[in-house]
Structure 1
Amino acid sequence: MPRIKVGVIGAGKMGRIHIENLCRMFEVDVKSVSDIYADQIKDWARDRGVSYITADYREIIKDPDIDAIFICSSTNTHTQIIAEGAQAGKHIFCEKPFSFDLEETKRALNVVEQAGVKMQVGFNRRFDHNFKRVRDIVQEGKIGDPHIIKITSRDPAPPSLDYIKVSGGLFVDMAIHDFDMARYVSGSEVEEVFVKGGVLVDPAIGEAGDIDTAVITLTFNNGAIGIIDNSRQAVYGYDQRVEVFGSKGCVTTNNDYPNTAQWWTADGVHGDKPLYFFLERYKESYVEEVKAFIDCIIHDKKPAVDGQDGLQAELIAYAAKKSLLESRPVKIEEIAHEKAVKQ
């Protein structure tokens, strides 16, 4: 079987993770990598067997040997590269979010649809062993009809202020994973969003135009209610938990730890903190999402998490932003109508 030839656009943190994982796959040949700092990554990329490094991503898109591209560049470049890649007949894996503009996202997805290429968005948490098990249990009807979905997502420390200023904000940058997870584990679309948020971690985050703490209430089409709590700083480590309560029971997941050993003394019960951050916590999920994307190309299957999933998460994120700004519940259809985005 011919190997899938891949080009990776953007060799920052996420790009390098994907390159490392792709290079371990027998079915894949990472032929080329582009990055605006190409000279700085040449040695690193060549050590991993990448034969061609360029500063111009269009060289990858124009290469007739390339079957698929991984878009790991800055968010403001995504939709242009998506459109160009789709028009060139490349299958596309794109990191989240697609863009900071819903109309831009929809235009790019229209090009993908017209081109007939496969597209997967980088919602890696769907491939996490814990959360996938929750989804399976809910889908199998073991807890009955979902009534309450609770998602806790707290980072161990806030990102730099320079990053916050260009990230799109807490909802688009951080909570967007939780919006997708809410849809994933509930098996239902979100109908309405209501947010209470504040700046409780660092006043500089507020000065940069963002918040660092939020509680988000979701209403689903199936009648279930969702609660997401986000914080940019949990001093004990990366806090990632999900619970689905239903008519027949409840399924819940805890954090992942370096080990499960505990020592009990007269002073208390002690154990390790959760795995520190996303690179450690979701290491295997990044491997699994890449495997799933390559598998859908080889076997001509629909991607497990596609462009429409990315669009729906963005709609929820913008409803959350509007809810915070206007202190009221916001329906998803209101945002879709405002932005002329057909759901």
Structure 2
Amino acid sequence: MLRIGILGCGRIGQVHASSIQQISRAKLIAVADASVSAAEAGAQRFGVEVRSVADILTASDIDAVVIATSTATHFDMIHAASASRKAIFCEKPIDLSSERVRICIDEIERSGVPFMTAFNQRFDPHFAALRERVVNGEIGNVETVCITSRDPAPPPVSYIEGSGGLFRDMMIHDLDMARFVLGEEPAQVFAVGSNLVDPSIGAAGDVDTAAVILTTPNGRVCQITNSRRSTYGYDKRLEVHGSKGMLRVSNVLENLVESAGNAGFERARAQPFFLERFGAAYLAEMMHFVDAVTSGSKPTPDAQDGLRAQMIADAATTSWREGRPIPIED
């Protein structure tokens, strides 16, 4: 039985708490949050104790922590959990600075604690099935990858200001997915971005509409498009083209009912947001973490995966600002 404490009782912390309580080999012991009311609400919802962050990080009755707090707090919490020899499940990004991520990796390797970066989309059953078929050679050598991500509406500007920007916040999932299916590390990125959705996002120094082209040493190409607006629901699609064919994951719709009449064919909207679209993925990633820690195997994606995605996001941000292709550091 893996005994777990949750650090952060916001939206994503509650998602992880719900997942833990569905896993027979795990037990949620306590929650903590900088907001007393949020911590108490989370504790009441999940029937557990409220403790301070420090108490959870040092508790003898807790084996692992889920870090679901704001990004700026991750660095210190990782070090504290590592010093207490607790397994760590950390929301992306590990930190907004690649150099600080490297410092975290050094600490994790020194202590030997299990560490998992929460790139939940790898665990989506549709994406995972596509990737397995790519790895098994069904479409031959991968040549191009196309990823589309569009949120129904932008987050508050207060969130944008501390997020690190679209490339490090929203697109980082797509950058990890590109690595997951390309079969080799991207070597160069070219990024463009605009403000077409909300002028206040531009005033905060970010973009709400963006695209990148990633290229690998062997010439494979990945195109990613992001938007903070989608009028038809959460738009999430993945296509991989290879020398023998193509594999595609289309949008998951609210239902599969299709009607036909004089106006033509009609289908349902895409699911409303990422929480609905990736509900199964959130549970699957937590199950993987629990299984890995309890069996003594290494969880994946790990801190190095978090660093690689962050480095590509950093390069994409620089490319957007400078208007030129940027090589991705080895």
> Under a length normalisation based on structure 2, what TM-score does the superposition of the two structures give?
0.98
Tell whether 2:28 aligns with 1:30: yes
| 1:63-83 Cα shifts (integer Å, max 9, x gaps) | 122110000000000011011
8 Å CA contact retained: 1:138, 1:186: no
RMSD: 1.1
Percent identity between the two aligned chains: 41
Tell whether 2:236 aligns with 1:240: yes
| 1:44-76 Cα shifts (integer Å, max 9, x gaps) | 4134231x212x311111112211000000000
8 Å CA contact retained: 1:76, 1:99: yes
The alpha-carbon deviation at position 40 of structure 1 amounts to 4.0
The alpha-carbon deviation at position 35 of structure 1 amounts to 0.6
| 1:114-170 Cα shifts (integer Å, max 9, x gaps) | 100111111000000111111101100111110000000111111111111111110
Residue ranges of structure 1 left out of the alignment (5+ in a row) = 334-342
Secondary structure at the residue paired with 1:158?
coil
**Counterparts of 1:322 and 1:232 in 2: how far apart (Å)?**
20
Determine which of 310, 317, 324 is the counterpart of 1:321: 317
More deviation in 199-208 or 148-157? 199-208
8 Å CA contact retained: 1:146, 1:244: yes
Match of 1:53 in 2: 50
**Counterparts of 2:28 and 2:209 in 1: how far apart (Å)?**
40
Match of 1:339 in 2: none
8 Å CA contact retained: 1:164, 1:210: yes
Tell whether 2:65 aligns with 1:69: yes
Residue ranges of structure 2 left out of the alignment (5+ in a row) = none
Over 3 Å counting, the alpha-carbon distance change for 1:253 and 1:4 in structure 2 is same
Match of 1:284 in 2: 280
Secondary structure at the residue paired with 1:58?
helix
Determine which of 187, 203, 206 is the counterpart of 1:207: 203
* Aligned amino acid, residue 9 of structure 1: L
* Aligned amino acid, residue 197 of structure 2: V
Aligned pairs for 1:104-253 within 5 A: 104-253=100-249
**Counterparts of 2:106 and 2:160 in 1: how far apart (Å)?**
30
Match of 1:337 in 2: none
* Aligned amino acid, residue 36 of structure 2: A
8 Å CA contact retained: 2:31, 2:42: no
**Counterparts of 1:40 and 1:330 in 2: how far apart (Å)?**
42
The alpha-carbon deviation at position 187 of structure 1 amounts to 2.0
Tell whether 2:270 aligns with 1:274: yes
Over 3 Å counting, the alpha-carbon distance change for 1:222 and 1:118 in structure 2 is farther
> Under a length normalisation based on structure 1, what TM-score does the superposition of the two structures give?
0.94
Q: How many residues align?
A: 330
**Counterparts of 2:266 and 2:188 in 1: how far apart (Å)?**
41
Secondary structure at the residue paired with 2:212?
strand
**Counterparts of 1:245 and 1:212 in 2: how far apart (Å)?**
27
Match of 2:14 in 1: 16
Match of 1:297 in 2: 293
8 Å CA contact retained: 1:70, 1:93: yes
| 1:251-285 Cα shifts (integer Å, max 9, x gaps) | 11101012111111111211111001011100110
| 1:293-336 Cα shifts (integer Å, max 9, x gaps) | 00001111111211000000000000000001111100112xxx
**Counterparts of 2:166 and 2:313 in 1: how far apart (Å)?**
9
The alpha-carbon deviation at position 43 of structure 1 amounts to 4.7
